[in-house]
Amino acid sequence: MKITMVGTGYVGLVTGTLFADRGNEVVCVDNNEEIIEDLNNGKVHIYEPGLERLVKNNLANGNLKFTYHLREPVLNSKVIFIAVGTPSDEDGSFDLRYVKSVAEEIGDILKDAEGFKVVVGKSTVPQGTYELVNNIFNNKLKGAKVRWGYVSNPETLAEGTAISDFAKPDRIIIGTHSDEAFRVMQELYHPFNIQSDRIIRGSPADAELAKLFSNTALATRIATINEFARIADITPEADMDIIRKMVCEDQRIGYKFMFPSPGYGGSCFPKDVQGLAARARENGYDPLLLSQIHHSNEAHKNYMGERVQKLLTGDKVNVAVWGLTFKPNTDDMRDAASVPIIERLIKEGARVVAYDPQDGKARQIFGDKVNFAEDKYAAVKDADALILLTEWKEFDAPDFDRLKELMQGNLIFDLRNRWLPKAANNHGFNYYGVGRNYPLQL
């Protein structure tokens, strides 16, 4: 099937590449000529395990192409995906300018098309956006020969595991009023749907809200356990890791996304939670619970930074940081907890040396305010404290003897609760986790 993917950000590039990898002819379009040139040379501008190899393979076999010209791909394609960015406005609402602009441009092009086209909304958008897009196409295509159907098909990928998520989806959400468009989408997704039928059909409104509900529900779980961790911090003898296991063994609750942390980040949770609540308020309902989730998460990040800063002493404290990205297996720094925490430490006079396996975007954010090390042990040399901020696998088994030799202080802040407190303290460290305090009594 011939496909046009408008947008080569995280969603567009992964989706387009995986469709190409199953034998479809995919053209990815972006107005950033530098990105297009890099992609045509096999250079991927985002980090996702396995993605660059797939891009190169499908460029080589001709299934995948990149261009900044939209007209020809749209006219030649059966399915046209809109996968452009929907950033947050200052009030937290979704900024739909790119969706509107692309929809209008596609509508103008389709005036010269014939046959049946499927237009797919892949960007994460607020509830009711399908009406906006439908109105644009209805106005643009009055009297045109082309027939079209609109589909809301939100992505269900997680950064770091996007390739496997797409190849083996737990569900494929398709929201459309058009039976013909639905049949096209069934055919398109068939290679990923052979073992069992994972397609769930509803209206475009159902699909838009389902995406927002999923991310809001997961963000709520993270915010909830982090608030309990703060309660555990002020409760003598409480250990959030033990409490978590006691609670999550309840099968009604489970372990997914129930782990204390310095707070959620990334491109989805912060934006989607705020955007959902903002659109609900526009429509006359103030969602009391949802409106507080983001505030709770940001307050938790501030609390983590304040807690670390209070336990550090001295005017020029040397702090080592392991991990900067908002989660492992990505280079994404959007709303990463590392940013407010490190900026707070720097403001208080700390010297920060950091290591992250994918630090390219972090270097752009921090500049010369942070010193970047080439490996994790180089980062801790002469450090008074070590902070674990991102749970990359290479940080799971630290050599505490080596850390003791390299560091001049003995403070460890495990903000992912990955390490055994007693193992750290038996080597002479003072260990602090999230809701679990085991400082060495000296």
Query: Cα–Cα–Cα angle for 258, 263, 267, nearest 5°?
Result: 100
The per-residue pLDDT for range 37-96, each reduced to its tens digit, is 999 999 999 999 999 999 999 999 999 999 999 999 999 999 999 999 999 888 889 999
pLDDT digits (tens, 9 = 90+) for 325-364: 999 999 999 999 999 999 999 999 999 999 999 999 999 9
Residues 6+ apart with CB under 8 A from 276: 126, 127, 212, 216, 287, 290
Q: What are the strands of the beta sheet with 351-355, ordered from one edge?
A: 371-372, 351-355, 318-322, 385-388, 411-414, 430-432, 437-438
Q: How many helices (H) and strands (E) does the chain have?
A: 17, 15
Averaged confidence pLDDT in the chain: 95
Question: Do 179 and 30 form a contact (C-beta atoms < 8 A)?
Answer: no
174-200: average pLDDT: 96
Nearest-10 Cα torsion for 137, 142, 147, 148: 10
Give residue for tokens 């921090």. Answer: 366
Q: What is the pTM of this model?
A: 0.91
How many Cα atoms are found within 13 Å in the side-chain-facing hemisphere of 82?
26
Which amino acid does the sequence have at 395?
Answer: F
SS3 364: helix
Q: Which pLDDT band, with edges at 50, 70 and 90, does 440 fall under?
A: low
Query: Tokens in use for 402?
Result: 């080596």
Asked whether residue 25 carries a pLDDT value surpassing 60, the answer given is yes
Average pLDDT over residues 310-317: 82
Q: Which of 222, 268, 276, 321 is catalytic?
A: 268
Helix axes 204-233, 129-140, angle to 10 degrees: 150
> Which residues fall within 8 angstroms of residue 197, CB to CB, at 6 or more apart?
none
CB distance 199 to 174 below 8 Å = yes
Listed in sequence order, the residues at least 6 apart from 302 whose beta carbon sits closer than 8 Å to its beta carbon are 340, 344
Three-state SS for 388? strand
Domain ranges of the chain: 2-202, 228-438
Higher pLDDT, 195 or 245: 245
Class of domain 228-438: alpha beta
Is residue 187 within 8 Å of residue 193, measured between CB atoms? no
Is it true that domain 2-202 has CATH number 3.30.565.10?
A: no
DSSP 157-221: --TTSHHHHHHS-S-EEEE-S-HHHHHHHHHHHGGGSSSS--EEEE-HHHHHHHHHHHHHHHHHH
Q: Are 202 and 176 in contact (CB under 8 A)?
A: no
User: Measured over all CA atoms, what is the biggest interatomic distance in the chain, rounded to whole angstroms?
Assistant: 82
When pLDDT is cut at 50, 70 and 90, the band that residue 441 belongs to is low
pLDDT, position 235? 94
Read off the pLDDT of residues 260-298 as tens digits, 9 standing for 90 and up: 999 999 989 999 999 999 999 999 999 999 989 999 999
Q: What is the pLDDT of residues 386-438, one digit of tens each?
A: 999 999 999 999 999 999 999 999 999 999 999 999 999 999 999 999 999 77
Q: How far apart are CA 153 and CA 151, in angstroms?
A: 6
DSSP for 81-119, please give it: EE-----B-TTS-B--HHHHHHHHHHHHHHTT--SEEEE
Share of the chain above pLDDT 70, in %: 99
- Which stretches of 314-420 are assigned E, i.e. beta strand? 318-322, 351-355, 371-372, 385-388, 411-414
**65 token code pair:** 């192409």
Is 268 labeled as catalytic in the residue annotation? Answer: yes
pLDDT at 442: 45
